[in-house]
Amino acid sequence: MARELNNRTIVITGGNSGIGAATAVACARVGMDVLLHGRDEERLAAVAEEVRQLGRRVALVAGDVTEPGLNERLLDVAETELGGFYAVFANAGYGFKKPAHELSMDELRRLFEVNFFACYELVATAARRLIATQRPGHLLMCSSGLAKFTLLNFSAYSATKAAQNHVCRAMRWELRRHDIEVASVHPITTRTDFFLRTGEERDASIDPAQAYRHVPRWLLQKPETVANAIVRCLRRPVPEVWTSLLARTAAGLITIFPRLADVMGRRIR
């Protein structure tokens, strides 16, 4: 049976643009209110306006997801300004292209802090609140197709996404008795500002004008494709959200036949 989403609230991190922004709009279209988080207040306000134009309520929280206390504040604002929350989409993250042996420990720790620990803290905190108030819910993390296999120079990013995938699967089993669904989301390459972020996390090895030229067209998709798949999952929960049958099949085959990853590594760099 489909779950009712109308008048329920979703908390979305990394909502300035890309998948987070598209998910906010897609959720608003089906009647959900949105607590929207991001680091760029101006871009965040623009996405919030799109949500309001669809007739839904929206609240904003700006800041870095690794900031102590931010995740508690996100849920507090959802409670006080939007009357609670039903779903949480831990979407904030970034990546860079670098061989594993050239990574500094600071780079690796920062990547895990943003992509894994901050996401984990948010969904775990949300789970505890839902359990305490005996409310149903739905928790999602934006993982990646690279949670199942990796590409050259993306080992660290893949490791963070694999960690998300495993935690989501375990939490799904652990929280089932509380009527809380958990899912990991596995996009393929999506046209966002993933490689184009400014500041300390920008991947200086990638030219913004060339960011996606190395990616075959069949491995590119729009953020709206992922957003619509997330809405379908919210309505009819599944353990993993995949937006490419080809990528999902490749992930399964590589798990069974690891040497296939060598072939893929030579073709996609």
What is the set of active-site residues? 157
What does the alpha-carbon distance between residue 33 and residue 29 come to, in Å, rounded to a whole number?
A: 10
Q: Would you give the DSSP letter of residue 2?
A: P
What does the alpha-carbon distance between residue 218 and residue 245 come to, in Å, rounded to a whole number?
A: 11
Q: If you search the block for the tokens 């375990």, which residue do you land on? A: 170
b/e per residue, 99-133, with b = 16+ CB within 10 A? Answer: eeeeeeeeebebbbebbbebbbbbbeebbebbeee
* Residues 254, 52 contacting (CB under 8 angstroms): no
Per DSSP, what are the bridge partners of residue 182? 139
* Residues 129, 82 contacting (CB under 8 angstroms): no
* Residues 9, 35 contacting (CB under 8 angstroms): yes
* Residues 143, 163 contacting (CB under 8 angstroms): no
What does the alpha-carbon distance between residue 50 and residue 58 come to, in Å, rounded to a whole number?
A: 10
What is the number of alpha carbons within 13 Å of residue 32 lying toward its C-beta?
Answer: 28
